[in-house]
């Protein structure tokens, strides 16, 4: 099941160091190539200008920033992504409520499963953002 | 003619703003005129006049400035507390203080304008009270300028006194509605220099002839140039450009003739007019008036036609000066009269613009005048000498027993028939040897028997006392007497008076003389005296004038014979003892007949004289009396009658004398009443003037206030609307905390009704729980800062934010307070909820962490990993506690460090020290750094300084740099087992080196220094993570708590 993940380039956006380093370890253990983790929205957006990704994992609330801008940018580039969040469901970025999400704390297996699913399924159409 | 700027002076007062606006609005473009506006303004007040008028015209409207050159198509306005004059086309402004307020600024300016600009001056008088401007208009007209008054017919001036006074003085050329004035002035100015007739000489001669025939005055001696100029000026006023046309107009228009006549006669009004004549008066006449008079006597003078009083005061000055030369001077009384009541008012006020006083010498000016701003006022001493009253020389009885009559330039305006009435009147009024002083164009050549010329050149005459037929001109003043229609020949009047005398004489004669008849040569009766009925009776048959036919029986024969004899001899014929038959007896008479001649006429007087009483026939027949006896009886009879007559006369005389005495004492009383009235009058005049000027000022202020009121109404309306719309409950209170007003929203909190205005707020029931309200309001009223309090609704769930602000006037004085209530119930509720949630959350998080710790405790085997794990959980837990204390806002760095070092301080060992300023860490940074210090501490305890008693940890931090600043922290270990290299990488090193960079964008470096571990951490200042305490506290060395 995790075959798709081998060599997948994954962007990780997360501002808690320990959580980020664990995610990084998990993904690397599955063979992904991790970009980041990036604690800031600005850093993530800059990275996206230079590189392309197969998937992304987004923490919803970053050091006070909201991750909406990153979600929109990813959507425009048709990069599949999922949310990890400590918040209740109601506070996801607008227009992306139907994207997969995991609540923290989460198990390694769940993370990899969810990631696999978004890498291989075609992307739902997002609402155009303006 | 060189182009001269026409300067229009405009005077206005009460009601003037309106008139000025209308006038300026009607001024056409390119008019080429300059306007100077003088009004009566209250002093020390900003005037809005320039603004108001500026809106009425495109021409610039400015306040006049001293030295400013007057320019065309500009409007200059006199500012308050100043007077304005003009010199050589430049305005001169002089400021006045409260002590020397100018009451007649318009006169002052107009006079100055007349002098400076002469024929090019134009004066306009608009609506106003009082008579400021009249003297000034007079001056402009006399100097050849144009004068206009606002007419009272079409667009009425609101206050007609000022323009009417000018018109009444006869000094106004045109009376026009105010809208027509500018256009008229422009037309007038256009005609300047348009005087260029082809054959002026002929036309002018025509005009001379016309004047002579219509007015009786010959102007051929008048200066040619001046005559021409006056004619030219009239032409300009009536807007005629051709001289011939004007001559035609004169033919048809009697009013124009009169106007031209007046203009020709107008000289310059002055004190001591015709200085030479006054000089002559002073030297030849004045001293004589005082001759033989002591302190009980009086010098009486009458100035007839005194107009605005300059002449009367001039004479008063001369008289006063003479008085001062005498030891015991007599009293002096000057009666000054004129028919113009307005002029009398001006004369009584005795204020004259400065340049009217040209002929008064500086010494006299100093002695007899007091200066008031731009005018001079005659001093009280002189004013008291003069009594001004309205009086017509023609209709009213004259004064009497006068020493001097001054009547200058009055007679010249009157037809010769009127003059013929007045000159004898003057003769009557003067005491014997009195003087008459006339104007320079007048003479008395026709009245040589009444007045002798003392100084013909200066027109001084003296009364002739011995004249053959003293005239008694008083009959015209008797109640039913009408003025006899005058004939062209003045001599007739004279003869008439002689006739009267003759008649009176005749009456006397009739009463006392014997009965007589006058017959002509033919015996036809010409005249009967009274009482002839005794001797004559009408003959039977048709009326017959033959005297003989009319004689009674007994008389006829003697009469016929005597008449015949008288005719023949031409001598007196006397017949005695004629018995005339009358009813009841016989009357003995004597008869005398004598021829009388009158011019070419011959007549005969027949005199019948009674001799004795009527007797019966028998007595007469036999009697033969001696002639003497009969004659004695007649004489006795006459003497008796004479005596009776004398007695009657005597008693008549006595009655007359008594009546005279009464008149005299009435006169005395009247004079003294007059004195009192005069001084009351003076006071009233002054009061009136003050009232007038206050009135004018009030009018002006009123106008301005009206405008302000409109603005105020607008502002009030705005406020009201604002109040209605606002939802914030606001109450306005005055200094005594009484309610002034409140918005509708207040009624939610206080039981207020509109009638509660004026009551203290504390009287009103409120739903607010604010016991200190009154106290706080007083404090704010006294000057405290704005006070805010959160207050609750009593027994309810509402919360309001009460704010008390001082109510400041524009002068920044506190005049009350404003109280506002903003509903913050929702905010408070939210805050409460937030606190509850935060507490709940904090509790939950703590518990969850405890649970996680417990699970680890239970689930894991007891090994080093478990101990490490649990230690890290505990570090997190302690940090949570610290964060909870501030409601999860921040935690102090010092506390975090000391918490992690605390387990290793104990047993009296001093092996840890902290040093640094107050720094607060936000939750994320706090948690991360807590874990960092936990790792450093546990590492030190295992391998470093905290593993031996000699070891020591020093933690020091500072805030370095400035914008950006940064936290620099150093963890140093001393005295522990030496470390050779770096500790292996693990959770701790990862956390320290990568975590700090990752989360806080800082740097952390682990080194070995002197064999001890050193960790240097630098974190840039970022309000998201770190807040440096302010001001930087003095770093203290703290011992770790035992």
What pLDDT is stored for residue A10 in this prediction?
Answer: 92
Q: How far is B988 from chain A (nearest CA, A)?
A: 11
Contact B786, B803 (CB under 8 A): yes
Choice between B167 and B564, residue whose per-residue pLDDT is larger: B564
What pLDDT is stored for residue A8 in this prediction?
Answer: 87
Distance separating alpha carbons of residues A106 and B499, to the nearest angstrom: 156
Bond prior to B871 in cis (omega within 30° of 0): no
Distance separating alpha carbons of residues A22 and A34, to the nearest angstrom: 12
Which residues, numbered 969 to 998 in chain B, qualify as contacts with chain A under a Cβ-Cβ cut-off of 8 Å?
990-991, 994-995, 998
Computed on alpha carbons and rounded to an integer, the radius of gyration of chain B in Å comes to 60
Task: Output the CA–CA distances (angstroms, integers) from residue B224 to B79, B145, B230, B236, B941, in the order listed.
Answer: 43, 19, 10, 18, 136
Mutate to test the interface with B, among A12, A18, A88 (most CBs of B within 10 A): A18
Distance separating alpha carbons of residues B523 and B539, to the nearest angstrom: 14
Contact status of B928 with chain A (Cβ, < 8 Å): yes
- What tokens does B520 get? 């002509």
Class of domain B7-190: alpha beta
Mean pLDDT of B261-290: 82
Contact B38, B52 (CB under 8 A): no
- What tokens does B303 get? 């100035």
What pLDDT is stored for residue B628 in this prediction?
Answer: 53
Q: How far is A5 from chain B (nearest CA, A)?
A: 26
Query: Could you report the per-residue pLDDT of A37-53, keeping only the tens digit for each?
Result: 988 888 899 988 888 88
Contact status of B682 with chain A (Cβ, < 8 Å): no
Question: Which regions of A3-127 does DSSP assign to beta strands (E)?
Answer: 9-13, 33-38, 55-59, 61-62, 65-66, 81-85, 101-103
Name every residue whose Cβ is closer than 8 Å to that of residue B972 and which is 6 or more positions away in sequence: B953, B954, B955, B956, B1009, B1012, B1013, B1014
**Sign of torsion over alpha carbons B389, B391, B393, B397:** negative
SS (H, E, C) B200-239: HHHHHHHHHHHHHHHHCCCCCCCCHHHHHHHHHHHHHHCC
What pLDDT is stored for residue B19 in this prediction?
Answer: 85
Mutate to test the interface with A, among B998, B1019, B1023 (most CBs of A within 10 A): B998
Class of domain A2-120: alpha beta
Query: Could you report the per-residue pLDDT of B800-859, keeping only the tens digit for each?
Result: 899 999 998 888 888 899 999 988 888 888 988 988 888 888 788 888 888 998 899 889
Distance separating alpha carbons of residues B419 and B422, to the nearest angstrom: 5
What pLDDT is stored for residue B486 in this prediction?
Answer: 42
Does A16 contact B999 at a Cβ distance shorter than 8 Å? yes
Select the highest-mean-pLDDT range: B373-387, B464-478, B1027-1041.
Answer: B373-387
Mean pLDDT of B173-196: 81
What is the rounded average pLDDT for all residues in chain B?
83
Does B928 contact A17 at a Cβ distance shorter than 8 Å? yes
Q: Give B97-158 as a DSSP string.
A: -GGG--S-HHHHHHHHHHHHHGGGEEEEE-S-SS-TTHHHHHHHHHTT-EEEEE-SSSS--S
DSSP B750: B
Does B999 contact A17 at a Cβ distance shorter than 8 Å? yes
Contact status of B424 with chain A (Cβ, < 8 Å): no
Query: Could you report the per-residue pLDDT of B730-786, keeping only the tens digit for each?
Result: 899 998 889 998 888 888 888 888 888 889 988 888 888 888 888 989 989 888 788
Whether pLDDT at B715 is above 90: yes
Query: Could you report the per-residue pLDDT of A24-80, keeping only the tens digit for each?
Result: 998 998 889 998 898 888 889 998 888 888 899 998 877 767 788 888 899 888 889
Distance separating alpha carbons of residues B311 and B82, to the nearest angstrom: 30
> How would residue B266 be classed by pLDDT, with cut points 50, 70 and 90?
low
Whether pLDDT at B255 is above 60: yes
Distance separating alpha carbons of residues B740 and B758, to the nearest angstrom: 6
Whether pLDDT at B469 is above 90: no
Whether pLDDT at B707 is above 50: yes
Does A17 contact B1024 at a Cβ distance shorter than 8 Å? no
- What tokens does B118 get? 């002469």
What pLDDT is stored for residue B48 in this prediction?
Answer: 77
Q: How far is A118 from chain B (nearest CA, A)?
A: 27
* A39 → closest Cβ in B990, B991, B998: B998
Q: How many CB pairs under 8 A join A and B?
A: 22
What pLDDT is stored for residue B453 in this prediction?
Answer: 87
Whether pLDDT at A3 is above 70: no
What pLDDT is stored for residue B492 in this prediction?
Answer: 54
Three-state SS at B368 = helix
What pLDDT is stored for residue B466 in this prediction?
Answer: 65
User: In chain B, what percentage of residues exceed pLDDT 90?
Assistant: 20
Contact status of B927 with chain A (Cβ, < 8 Å): no
* CA-based nearest residue to B591, from B629, B622, B626, B547: B547
Which residues, numbered 490 to 519 in chain B, qualify as contacts with chain A under a Cβ-Cβ cut-off of 8 Å?
none
Distance separating alpha carbons of residues B1019 and B913, to the nearest angstrom: 21
Q: Which residues of A touch B994 (CB under 8 A)?
A: 17, 21
Does A39 contact B999 at a Cβ distance shorter than 8 Å? yes
Neighbours of B694 (CB within 10 A): 11
Q: Which residues of A touch B1024 (CB under 8 A)?
A: 63-64
Computed on alpha carbons and rounded to an integer, the radius of gyration of chain A in Å comes to 13
Domain coordinates in residue numbering, chain B: 7-190, 200-265, 275-467, 513-624, 726-823, 890-1039
Mean pLDDT of B952-978: 88
Mutate to test the interface with B, among A17, A25, A105 (most CBs of B within 10 A): A17
* CA-based nearest residue to A22, from B728, B676, B403, B987: B987
Q: Which residues of B touch A37 (CB under 8 A)?
A: 998
Q: Nearest 10 degrees: CA dihedral of B163, B168, B170, B173?
A: 30
Bond prior to B964 in cis (omega within 30° of 0): yes
> How would residue B1034 be classed by pLDDT, with cut points 50, 70 and 90?
very low
Does A17 contact B998 at a Cβ distance shorter than 8 Å? yes
Query: Could you report the per-residue pLDDT of B82-131, keeping only the tens digit for each?
Result: 888 898 889 999 888 777 667 788 988 998 998 888 888 999 998 887 77
What pLDDT is stored for residue B303 in this prediction?
Answer: 93
Mean pLDDT of B520-532: 86
Q: How far is A20 from chain B (nearest CA, A)?
A: 10
Distance separating alpha carbons of residues B445 and B203, to the nearest angstrom: 31
Contact status of B1024 with chain A (Cβ, < 8 Å): yes
Contact status of B157 with chain A (Cβ, < 8 Å): no
* A21 → closest Cβ in B924, B990, B1024: B990
How far does Cα B630 stand from its chain's mean position? 93
| pTM for the full predicted model | 0.42
Neighbours of B418 (CB within 10 A): 15
Does A20 contact B998 at a Cβ distance shorter than 8 Å? yes
Contact status of B925 with chain A (Cβ, < 8 Å): no
With CA atoms as reference, the chain B residue closest to A38 would be B998
Mean pLDDT of B321-342: 88
Whether pLDDT at B489 is above 50: no
Contact B1030, B1023 (CB under 8 A): no
Q: What is the CATH number of domain B513-624?
A: 3.30.450.20
ipTM: 0.82
What pLDDT is stored for residue B471 in this prediction?
Answer: 53
Q: How far is A120 from chain B (nearest CA, A)?
A: 31
Angle at B945 between CA B942 and CA B946, to 5 degrees: 60
Whether pLDDT at B468 is above 60: no
Contact A97, A48 (CB under 8 A): no
Mean pLDDT of B455-472: 75
Characterize B303-332 residue by residue with b for buried, 16 or more Cβ atoms within 10 angstroms of its Cβ, and e for exposed.
Answer: bbbbbbbbbbbbbbbbbbebbeeeeebbeb
> How would residue B157 be classed by pLDDT, with cut points 50, 70 and 90?
low
Distance separating alpha carbons of residues B439 and B460, to the nearest angstrom: 9
Whether pLDDT at B5 is above 70: yes
> Of B131-140, B228-237, B993-1002, which range is least confident?
B228-237
Question: Which regions of B491-646 does DSSP assign to beta strands (E)?
Answer: 515-519, 525-528, 573-582, 585-598, 601-615
Whether pLDDT at A124 is above 70: no
- What tokens does B368 get? 């007899």
Angle at B470 between CA B468 and CA B476, to 5 degrees: 150
Mean pLDDT of A77-104: 79
Angle at B809 between CA B805 and CA B812, to 5 degrees: 85
Residue B595, exposed/middle/buried by CB under 10 A (0-12, 13-18, 19+)?
A: middle
Q: How far is A121 from chain B (nearest CA, A)?
A: 33
Task: Output the CA–CA distances (angstroms, integers) from residue B18 to B684, B694, B764, in the order listed.
Answer: 30, 19, 51
| CA terminus-to-terminus distance, chain A | 37
Three-state SS at B947 = helix
Residue with tokens 């006369």: B649
Q: Which residues of A touch B928 (CB under 8 A)?
A: 17
Distance separating alpha carbons of residues A71 and A76, to the nearest angstrom: 9
Choice between B400 and B332, residue whose per-residue pLDDT is larger: B332
Q: Which residues of B touch A64 (CB under 8 A)?
A: 1024
Q: Write out the residues of chain A at the interface with chain B, using a CB-CB cutoff of 8 A.
A: 15-18, 20-21, 37, 39, 63-64
- What tokens does B212 get? 């002579």
Distance separating alpha carbons of residues B956 and B968, to the nearest angstrom: 8
Find out if CATH 3.20.20.70 is the number for domain B275-467: no
What pLDDT is stored for residue B153 in this prediction?
Answer: 54
Mean pLDDT of B401-421: 82
Class of domain B726-823: alpha beta
Contact status of B837 with chain A (Cβ, < 8 Å): no
What pLDDT is stored for residue B265 in this prediction?
Answer: 66
Contact B428, B399 (CB under 8 A): no
Distance separating alpha carbons of residues B925 and B1022, to the nearest angstrom: 11
With CA atoms as reference, the chain B residue closest to A16 would be B999
Pick the CATH number of B890-1039 from 3.20.20.70, 3.20.20.370, 3.30.565.10, 3.40.350.10: 3.30.565.10
User: In chain B, what percentage of residues exceed pLDDT 70?
Assistant: 88
* CA-based nearest residue to B516, from B499, B531, B494: B531
Domain coordinates in residue numbering, chain A: 2-120
* Antiparallel, parallel or unpaired: β B912-915 and B919-921: unpaired
What pLDDT is stored for residue B481 in this prediction?
Answer: 40
- What tokens does B701 get? 């202020």
């Amino acid at each position: 099941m995790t075959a798709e993940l081998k060599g997948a380039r994954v962007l990780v956006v997360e501002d808690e160091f320990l959580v980020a380093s664990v995610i990084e370890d998990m993904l690397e253990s599955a063979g992904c190539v991790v970009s980041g983790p990036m604690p800031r929205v600005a850093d993530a957006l800059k990275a996206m200008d230079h590189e392309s990704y197969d998937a992304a994992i987004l923490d919803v609330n970053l050091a006070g920033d909201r991750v909406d801008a990153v979600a929109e940018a990813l959507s425009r580039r048709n990069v599949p992504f999922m949310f990890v969040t400590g918040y209740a469901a109601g506070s996801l970025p607008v227009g992306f409520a139907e994207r997969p999400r995991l609540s923290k704390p989460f198990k390694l297996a769940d993370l990899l499963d969810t990631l696999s699913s978004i890498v291989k399924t075609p992307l739902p159409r997002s609402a155009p953002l303006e | 003619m060189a182009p001269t700027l026409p300067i229009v002076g405009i005077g206005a007062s009460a009601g003037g703003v309106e008139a000025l606006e209308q006038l300026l609005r009607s001024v056409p473009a390119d008019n080429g005129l300059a306007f100077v506006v003088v009004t009566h303004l209250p002093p020390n007040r900003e005037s809005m006049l320039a603004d108001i008028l500026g809106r009425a015209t495109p021409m610039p409207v400015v306040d006049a400035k001293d030295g400013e050159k007057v320019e065309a198509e500009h409007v200059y306005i006199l500012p308050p507390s100043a007077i304005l004059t003009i010199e050589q086309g430049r305005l001169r402004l002089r400021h006045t203080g409260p002590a020397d307020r100018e009451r007649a600024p318009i006169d002052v300016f107009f006079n100055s304008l007349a002098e400076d600009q002469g024929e090019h001056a134009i004066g306009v008088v608009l609506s106003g009270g009082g008579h400021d401007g009249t003297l000034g208009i007079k001056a402009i007209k006399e100097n050849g300028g144009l004068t206009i008054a606002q007419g009272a017919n079409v667009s009425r001036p609101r206050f007609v006194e000022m323009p009417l006074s000018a018109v009444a003085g006869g000094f106004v050329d045109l009376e026009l509605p105010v809208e027509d004035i500018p256009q008229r002035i422009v037309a007038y100015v256009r005609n300047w220099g348009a005087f260029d007739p082809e054959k002026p000489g002929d036309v002018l001669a025509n005009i001379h002839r016309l004047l002579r025939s219509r007015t009786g005055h010959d102007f051929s001696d008048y200066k040619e140039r001046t005559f021409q100029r006056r004619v030219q000026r009239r032409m300009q006023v009536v807007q005629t450009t051709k001289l011939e046309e004007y001559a035609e107009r004169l033919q048809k228009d009697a009013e124009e003739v009169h106007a031209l006549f007046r203009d020709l006669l107008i000289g310059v009004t002055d004190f001591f007019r015709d200085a030479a004549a006054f000089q002559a008066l002073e030297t030849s006449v004045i001293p004589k008036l005082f001759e033989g008079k002591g302190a009980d006597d009086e010098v009486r003078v009458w100035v007839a036609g005194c107009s605005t009083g300059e002449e009367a005061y001039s004479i008063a000055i001369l008289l006063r000066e003479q008085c001062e030369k005498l030891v015991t001077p007599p009293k002096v009384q000057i009666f000054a009269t004129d028919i113009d009541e307005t002029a009398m008012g001006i004369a009584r006020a005795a204020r004259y613009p400065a340049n009217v006083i040209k002929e008064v010498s500086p010494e006299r000016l100093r002695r007899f005048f007091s200066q008031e701003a731009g005018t001079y006022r005659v001093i009280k001493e002189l004013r008291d000498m003069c009594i001004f009253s309205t009086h017509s020389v023609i209709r009213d009885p004259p004064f009497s027993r006068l020493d001097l009559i001054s009547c200058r330039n009055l007679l010249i305006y009157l037809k010769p028939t009127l003059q013929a009435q007045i000159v004898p009147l003057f003769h009557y009024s003067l005491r014997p040897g009195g003087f008459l002083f006339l104007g320079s164009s007048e003479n008395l050549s026709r009245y040589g028997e009444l007045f002798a010329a003392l100084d013909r050149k200066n027109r001084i005459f003296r009364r002739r006392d011995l004249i053959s037929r003293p005239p008694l001109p008083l009959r015209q003043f008797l109640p039913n007497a009408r003025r006899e229609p005058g004939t062209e020949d003045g001599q007739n009047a004279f003869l008439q008076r002689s006739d009267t005398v003759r008649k009176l004489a005749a009456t006397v004669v009739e009463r006392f003389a014997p009965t007589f008849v006058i017959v002509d040569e033919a015996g036809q009766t010409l005249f009967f005296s009274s009482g002839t009925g005794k001797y004559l009776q009408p003959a039977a048959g048709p009326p017959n004038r033959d005297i003989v036919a009319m004689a009674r029986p007994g008389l006829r024969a003697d009469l016929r014979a005597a008449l015949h004899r008288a005719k023949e001899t031409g001598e007196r014929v006397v017949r005695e003892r004629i018995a005339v038959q009358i009813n009841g007896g016989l009357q003995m008479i004597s008869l005398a007949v004598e021829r009388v001649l009158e011019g070419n006429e011959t007549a005969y007087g027949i005199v019948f004289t009674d001799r004795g009483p009527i007797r019966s026939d028998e007595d007469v027949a036999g009697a033969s009396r001696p002639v003497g006896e009969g004659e004695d009886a007649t004489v006795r009879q006459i003497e008796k009658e004479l005596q009776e007559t004398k007695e009657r006369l005597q008693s008549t005389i006595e009655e007359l004398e008594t009546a005279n005495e009464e008149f005299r004492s009435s006169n005395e009383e009247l004079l003294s009443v007059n004195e009192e009235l005069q001084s009351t009058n003076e006071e009233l005049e002054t009061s009136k003037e003050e009232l007038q000027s206050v009135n004018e000022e009030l009018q002006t202020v009123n106008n301005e206030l009206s405008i302000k009121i409109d603005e105020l109404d607008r502002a009030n309306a705005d406020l009201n609307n604002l109040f209605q719309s606002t939802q914030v409950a606001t109450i306005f209170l005055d200094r005594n905390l009484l309610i002034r007003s409140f918005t509708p929203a207040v009624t939610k909190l206080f039981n207020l009704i509109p009638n509660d205005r004026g009551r203290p707020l504390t009287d009103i029931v409120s739903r607010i729980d604010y016991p200190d309200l009154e106290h706080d309001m007083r404090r704010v009223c006294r000057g405290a800062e704005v006070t805010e309090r959160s207050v609750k609704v009593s027994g309810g769930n509402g919360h309001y934010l009460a704010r008390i602000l001082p109510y400041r006037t524009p002068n920044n004085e506190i005049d009350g307070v404003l109280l506002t209530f903003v509903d913050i119930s929702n905010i408070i509720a939210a805050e409460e909820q937030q606190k509850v949630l935060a507490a709940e959350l904090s509790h939950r998080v703590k518990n969850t962490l405890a649970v996680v710790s417990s699970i680890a405790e239970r689930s894991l085997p007891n090994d080093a990993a478990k101990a490490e794990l649990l230690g890290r959980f505990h570090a997190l837990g302690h940090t949570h506690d610290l964060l909870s204390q501030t409601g999860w806002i921040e935690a102090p760095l010092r506390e975090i460090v000391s918490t992690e070092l605390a387990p290793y301080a104990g047993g009296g060992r001093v092996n840890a020290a902290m040093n640094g300023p107050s720094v607060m860490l936000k939750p994320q940074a706090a948690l991360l750094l807590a874990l960092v210090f936990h790792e450093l501490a546990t590492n030190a305890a295992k391998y470093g300084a905290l593993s031996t008693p000699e070891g020591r940890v020093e933690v020091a931090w500072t805030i370095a740099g400035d914008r950006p600043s940064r936290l620099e922290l150093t963890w140093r270990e001393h005295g522990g087992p030496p470390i050779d290299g770096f500790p292996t990488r693990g959770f701790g090193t990862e956390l320290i080196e990568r975590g700090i960079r990752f989360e806080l964008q800082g740097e952390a470096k682990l080194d070995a220094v002197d064999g001890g571990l050193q960790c240097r951490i630098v974190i840039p200042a970022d309000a998201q993570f770190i807040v440096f305490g302010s001001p930087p506290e003095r770093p203290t060395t703290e011992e770790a708590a035992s």
